[in-house]
Amino acid sequence: MAFIFKPQRPKMRPVIGADGKPTGETVKRRRRGKLVDVPKLEPERDTAGNVVKVESRKWMIEYTDAAGSRRKAGGYTDRGMTDRKAANLERTVIREKEDVFDASAIHLKTDLTEHVKGWLADLRRAQRSRNYVRMVETRIETLRQKLNWRLPDSIRADGLSAWLAATAAAGASPRTVNHYLQTAIAFCNWCVGQRRMEKNPLEHVSKTTVTEPKLARRALTAAELDRLVKVDAKCGLIYLTAALTGLRREEVATLAWGDVHLDAVRPYITLRASNTKSRRADTIAVNGELAAILRCRRPDRWEPSDKVFGWVPKAQTLHKDLATAGIERIRDGTKVDFHALRVTHATLLATSGVSVRAAMEQMRHTDIRLTTKVYTDPMLLDTHGAVNSIPQIIGAEYREALQATGTDDSTAQKNERSYRRAPVIRNAQNGREWPQDENEPIAGSTASSRVTDDGTESYGPWSVSDDAECQPAGTADGGSRTLNPGFTKAVLYH
């Protein structure tokens, strides 16, 4: 229940001296942005020495909020208006207790810049990257100024859609237009989650269709990486470190000497959870070549918190270095940026014969498909050498049959007949099956193949006819076994 009252305050007067007259003392006070001299005041007292108090002109409201704490709110000189404000406060408390939010009563009259400050502070608290926070801050500030967003209720879907259409018509790429929309939607979602807005007014605004394909990152070859590193010694060491460790841009910038263990038997780098994308502490191995270079670069006196680099070349600097090194930045639907050095690291591991599981661990991936499908450049894989490493499958005799031209050459006809008539043989004693060469005796039998008077080929204890039936030689019934019923030709492989 709200309580309305008029607070009492001491009655003030200029400082009185011993003679009962004002002393004329002054103090500095700020008035309209300027410091001015005003009379020094003191509480007025009655004859008994008690402070004289007077009632305030405005009413005061005291009420209990949803958490049970007593709070005060300023009223008006008019008692009726103060009563209505007290009633609104009571309704707001009831709605908050019932979890029915009334945003207009608390936040909708607050300037939008205050909400933006809270959103950005929340992003920094969540340890989002500095580049991301800086980018969304620029985006939301542009929208606020262009669309005259002063209060939360001034954010309208129709105004944003019209501005996005005009921006796209002015030449902005579809991805840039979509990023403006995503930033605005993310901000409104945060306001809803923080109970600063009742609902997101932009939730039904559709994205712009992206027609051009997204450029995939490609890996640099060893020769290209060598040329890039030699363009500039200062930037080149950063490029080499990223390519030989797979570190991301932010991880390279925040890498400290205390994280780089170069004097170990197997040099390694420890990554703090606060610096990694996944917010997980990790350890990666360091290439011997890179470890030797970093040992020479490490100062004689260093602190564990000292940065190894402390910075990363900007995108424009990388573009200039690529051009100087004679490397095309965009080619055949692919691009090279700083993160492409991480793709280069994964591809170097793959082309060096490193197992996929070891590469996944070095890349700090939790899904092996990310290592093999996204971060390994298939254009640099030696697929020709891979297929030629397959051992020989076909024997020399059958290979000649496959190479036959189909002419009247007697050797080719013989090989073709041998290829066609080679069946799968099953031994009656042990049940084994295998493709039987025409001139090869059956295992466990000393008899060679021969042609009987009726045109049937006999293989030791078995005979094979054109209908692909195997039966014991000299047996007319009971012993027939069909290899592939319904086929007129015997098969080479079973």
Domain parsing of the chain, residue ranges? 3-100, 112-193, 217-384, 423-482
What confidence score (pLDDT) does residue 95 get? Answer: 77
Q: What span, in angstroms and rounded, lies between the C-alpha atoms of 348 and 381? A: 9
* 233-250 tens-digit pLDDT: 899 999 999 999 999 999
Q: What's the 3-state SS for 299-330?
A: CCCCCCCCECCCCCCCHHHHHHHHHHCCCCCE
8 Å CB contact between 371 and 360: yes
- Residue 114, judged by CB atoms within 10 A of its CB (0-12, 13-18, 19+), counts as exposed
* 166-206 tens-digit pLDDT: 999 998 889 899 999 999 999 999 998 888 888 899 989 99
Q: What span, in angstroms and rounded, lies between the C-alpha atoms of 55 and 180? A: 54
Q: What span, in angstroms and rounded, lies between the C-alpha atoms of 279 and 187? A: 23
Angle between helical axes of 315-324 and 222-231 (0-180°, round to 10): 110
What confidence score (pLDDT) does residue 97 get? Answer: 77
C-alpha dihedral sign at 185, 187, 189, 191: negative
- Hunting for tokens 């709605």 — which residue is that? 95
Helix (H) or strand (E) run with residue 9 in it: strand 8-10
8 Å CB contact between 76 and 16: no
Q: What span, in angstroms and rounded, lies between the C-alpha atoms of 411 and 417? A: 10
What confidence score (pLDDT) does residue 314 get? Answer: 92
Q: H helices then E strands: how many in the chain? A: 16, 22
CATH for 112-193 is 1.10.150
8 Å CB contact between 152 and 191: yes
What confidence score (pLDDT) does residue 237 get? Answer: 94
Alpha helices in 45-193 (DSSP H): 79-97, 112-125, 130-146, 157-169, 174-193
Give the SS3 label for residue 444.
Answer: coil
Fold that domain 217-384 belongs to in CATH: hpI Integrase; Chain A (1.10.443)
What confidence score (pLDDT) does residue 33 get? Answer: 77
Q: What span, in angstroms and rounded, lies between the C-alpha atoms of 304 and 256? A: 6
Helix (H) or strand (E) run with residue 345 in it: helix 340-351
Same fold for the pair 112-193 and 217-384: no
What confidence score (pLDDT) does residue 477 get? Answer: 47
Task: Name the stretches of the chain with pLDDT < 50.
Answer: 412, 416, 419-422, 430, 437-452, 456-494
